[in-house]
Structure 1
Amino acid sequence: MRSRWGKARRVSTLEGPAFMNELQRAVASMGPRVLLFLTEEKTVNTVSELRASLPVSVLIRLPEHQRLMELMHKQGFQELAEAMAAPVPRTVRLQSSQDLPLVRGLNYPCVLKPSEKNYEYGARFKKAYKVGSAHEVDALYRKIEPVLADMVVQEWIEGADGDIYFCLQYIGGQGEVVSSFSGRKIRSWPPRIGGTASCTAAWEHAQELSDTTASFFRQVGFTGMGSMEYKRDARDGLFYMVEPTVGRTDFQEEVATVNGCNIPLAAYCHEMGQALPAMSPVSPQRVWRDEQADRWSREVSGEAVNAAALTGFPVVDAQWRWHDPLPWLDDISRRAADRIKSKFHK
């Protein structure tokens, strides 16, 4: 919204028929061809379901709706991955407390998390919980069930935040890989179970992760903007799929751009019939860092060193750009306002 490089337009909602009406008004003055990039799961749901009502000028690459919904649901993805013999940890779906006996056969520790993104759940609970026993799952789930009954319990893959890898891709209409970038997390927030706080390129595993991701996407018929998260098991050194992000950009998508692989630009050029930009791997590779989340992660884990000291690579801040400072200034002002508000509410 604040960037000098974009033209902001505020809308009343990001989902449902009302959003589609807002979208039609927004693109009316944008020219004969507009490529749509989505960033929210709820918007992906809406655009996919109501794609027939998109203006003819709007282009977006999506797989068939039912397949997209399966990939966005953790149990749906699990069943697809198992059918494709893809490397995934064992997972049990909980739809009510009557399903709790199913978790007794899992090997612990495990992770308890929602089957799909839910905003009411996110406002009251953590993104995921590491649980040490079926009894712990039982106690936690009974608290969560009134808010969100559809949860999964997945066997834990041993390793630290630095063992979490990902592959960001754009897949063309014939299943071809238009652009691909492999990276790894440095820190998560909250540690071990949260989103990306800092990350960098993973050139040493790029081919394996790109091939594995592209193969899975090809088998399930996925096209468009997507990614796959992996965790490398400290016990056997193998990569296991954790979950995909489909139909939208990933939170850490910019780590690819700062390391020489601009995936949205490649997607745009591909869909507009233009020559693809060359991928120019940056050396030394860059660390992309959400400074606030990375600092919180360091403080909780007791680590004194920052991402640059930890990796030796230059750091690019997620918000700060000297030639485009307003996003950073807006973020700083919001944090200050939140701190003042919290003091007055104590």
Structure 2
Amino acid sequence: MDRSRTDLTRPDRSRTDFTRPDRSRTDLTRSAHGGPELDREVPVLLVKVGHYPQTPSHLGAVRSFGRLGVPVYAMVEDRLTPTAVSRYLTGAFVRPSTGREPPGQLLAAILAAGRRIGRPSVAVATDDESAVLLAEHRAELARWFLLPPVPAELPRRLASKAGLHAICREADVPTPRACAPGSRAELVDAGRRWGYPLVLKNLEPFTRLRHPAVGHTTVVRSEEELLATLARGGPDGGAPSVLAQEYLPPERSEDWITHLCCGPDGEPLALFTGRKVRSWPPGRGVTARARACPNPELAALAARLCRRIGYRGVADLDWRLDLRDGRYKLVDFNPRTGAQFRLFETVDGVDVVRALHLTLTGRPVPSGAQLSRSFGVGQIDLLSMLATSWGERRAPRDVWPRRSTERAWLCRDDLAPTVAEAARFGCSAVRVLAGSVRNRG
């Protein structure tokens, strides 16, 4: 038996004594870090499902809460992840998971962490699967965790690509044409009707981890490429667990994002808008560079959707402005913190996770304007910039952002995560290069 995965009651003495008072952070004052007064008696647990040790949202939340003196705990893959070595982390629960475990086992891990903390804590989901678990098991988790009163079934519907498409149609929110084919023949027919390129996305939360049809959001440019992609994703003849989505060409569209936190009455307590400048892989992956840009039209559209569906808590929405018809089209609704959420902060020092903590502890959320700044994710921003410049045969743009920059890893008051991320990135690069050499051999 793999005791590192299943024995959740053994003390983790090698990392942190979870019973001692959190005296090391009581000197982190509001004046030093420019944030709101959070309730330091209410800790935070960052919940994750799946293996992704290099996620900026996890570390960003640790720094956001830790700088204001709130005890913050995190579920991590190992003791050397960027999150686990942050000076602002109160304690790490080393609980590796793949997302293929039974829901009961994943739920037991969250409950065990709550018991170890020993007092009611704000639980913050950092992936779709953990958001689904927290919503669907809110009653069971209530003893140890403070959670927003989101309808239990809503995060799963929003995280489902087919469910989100249906919600957009019901709420009259623009979205690209899409279908969830019941067979490979239907998928091929969609490509023939709409034309190529065609976008493929894994259809459901958990399924994307257990039986992924594609490794990530994938653009196929021909029927031959489509069939080859499906052959790699599963047995021939079965219904593919994918959403086929209309391709919006980057030269005729713009990528926009909204991050928000809705209160118990459904009203947004904090709502931010921004532009995605670069992504990795280019044009279809995670954010590599973004900048905060006030956009009242998009903010109103996001707020109207959340009110209409009764959403509560933190969310990250991806939009594409289709320059052909001038409409913002929703392409993803992530019912949890987004990777780049630290791009957004108000003049009062409020970001979406701080707003969540304030409302769940009964404190008002200041309503200041959002700051103008940018966000960069180190190495992948460099890769995206170089790849885009090479593909478009032009000089790199936005090499040195003119606005103040929030960096995903590099931080003067918390350097250890930068070293940990650089080491992991270097190891990943070596593995990729070694694999390429083997394949050519």
- Using the size of structure 1 for normalisation, the TM-score is 0.87
Kindly report which structure 2 residues correspond to 1:133-152, keeping only aligned pairs within 5 A, or say none.
133-134=222-223, 136-146=225-235, 149-152=240-243
The one-character-per-residue Cα deviations of 1:262-309 (angstroms, maximum 9, x if unpaired) are: 111111111111132353533xx2211001111111121225435344
The within-5 A match list for 1:109-188 is 109-117=197-205, 118-119=208-209, 125-134=214-223, 136-146=225-235, 149-160=240-251, 163-188=254-279
How far apart in 1 are the matches of 2:362 and 2:355? 11
Per the alignment, do residues 114 and 160 of structure 1 end up closer, same or farther by CA in structure 2, a change over 3 Å counting? farther
**Cα gap change, 1:139 to 1:287, in 2 (>3 Å):** same
- Distance in 1 between the 2:88 and 2:96 partners? 23
Paired residues of 1:170 and 1:224 also in contact (CA < 8 A) = yes
Judge conservation of contact 2:200–2:214 (CA < 8 Å) in 1. no
Matched, 1:326 2:409: no
Structure 2 partner of 1:254: 342
- For residue 215 of structure 1, report the CA deviation from its aligned partner: 0.9
- The gaps in structure 2 that reach 5 residues or longer are 1-83
Name the SS for the 2:125 alignment partner: coil
Distance 2:218 2:260 in 1: 28
> What displacement does 1:209 show?
1.4
Structure 1 residue 48 displacement after superposition: 2.7
Aligned partner of 2:86 in structure 1 is 3
Kindly indicate whether the alpha-carbon contact (under 8 Å) linking 2:87 and 2:414 is maintained by their aligned counterparts in 1.
yes
Partner AA of 2:159 in structure 1:
M
- Identical amino acids, percent of aligned pairs: 22
Q: Does 1:72 align with 2:162?
A: no
What runs of 5+ residues in structure 1 fail to find an aligned partner? Answer: none
Alignment of 1:99-114 (within 5 A): 99-103=186-190, 104-114=192-202
Aligned twin of 1:196: 287
Q: Alpha carbons of 1:92 and 1:71: their partners in 2 closer, same or farther (altered >3 Å)?
A: same
Question: Hey, what's the Cα distance between the residues in 1 that align with 2:114 and 2:210?
Answer: 31
Establish whether residue 317 from structure 1 lines up as the match of residue 407 from structure 2.
yes
Alpha carbons 1:169, 1:225 under 8 Å: kept: yes
**Partner deviation per Cα, 1:214-249 (whole Å, 9 max, x = no partner):** 111111222111121111113233211111011x21
Q: 1:343 to 1:225 in 2, by over 3 A?
A: closer
Displacement of 1:341 in angstroms is 6.1
Cα distance, 1:170 vs structure 2: 0.7
The C-alpha deviation readout for 1:112-133, integer Å capped at 9, x for no partner, is 22113513566x9542222344
**Distance verdict in 2 for CA 1:161–1:65, change over 3 Å:** farther
> Equivalent of 1:25, from 112, 116, 120?
112
Do 2:252 and 2:323's aligned partners in 1 also have CA atoms closer than 8 Å?
no
1:50 corresponds, among 134, 137, 140, to 137
Residues 56 and 106 (structure 1), Cα distance of their counterparts in 2 relative to 1, 3 Å cut:
same
Instruction: For 1:218 and 1:161, locate their aligned partners in 2 and report how far apart those are by CA, in whole Å.
Output: 30
CA spacing shift, 1:291–1:110, aligned 2, 3 Å: same
How much does 1:101 deviate?
A: 4.8
- The separation in 2 between residues aligned to 1:222 and 1:166, in whole angstroms, is 17
Structure 2 CA distance, aligned partners of 1:30 and 1:235? Answer: 52
1:209 counterpart residue number: 298
- Aligned equivalents of 1:245 and 1:239: distance in 2? 17
| Contact kept in structure 1, 2:136 and 2:153, CA below 8 Å | no
CA distance in 2, matches of 1:107, 1:219: 33
Distance 1:31 1:179, change over 3 A: farther
Q: Is the 8 A contact 1:159 1:233 kept in 2?
A: no
Q: How many residues align?
A: 339
- Opposite residue 181 of structure 2, the aligned amino acid is L
Kindly indicate whether residue 381 of structure 2 is the aligned counterpart of residue 294 of structure 1: yes
Measured in 1, the distance between the counterparts of 2:357 and 2:264 equals: 13
Distance 2:262 2:92 in 1: 28
- Change in Cα spacing, 1:229 to 1:202, as seen in structure 2 (3 Å) is same
Question: Taking structure 1 as reference, are residues 41 and 236 closer, same or farther at Cα in structure 2, changes over 3 Å only?
Answer: same
Counterpart-to-counterpart distance in 1, 2:337 and 2:248: 25
- Bigger CA drift: 181-190 or 293-302? 293-302
Question: What is the DSSP-based 3-state SS (H/G/I as helix, E as strand, rest coil) of the residue aligned with 2:165?
Answer: helix
The corresponding residue for 1:34 is 121
The answer (yes or no) to whether the contact 1:161–1:186 under 8 Å persists in 2 is no
Checking the alignment, whether the CA contact within 8 Å between 1:161 and 1:192 is kept in structure 2 is no
Structure 1 residues 66, 256: CA separation in 2 closer, same or farther (over 3 Å shift)?
A: same
Find the residue that maps to 1:82 and give its secondary structure.
helix
- Tell me, in whole angstroms, the C-alpha distance in 2 between the residues paired with 1:249 and 1:332: 23
* 8 Å Cα contact 1:89-1:240 kept in structure 2: yes
Q: Does residue 219 of the first structure (1) align with residue 302 of the second (2)?
A: no
SS of 1:127's partner is coil
Secondary structure at the aligned position of 2:320 is classed as strand
State the one-letter code of the partner of 2:311.
F
AA in 2 matched with 1:262: D
Q: More deviation in 113-122 or 103-112?
A: 113-122
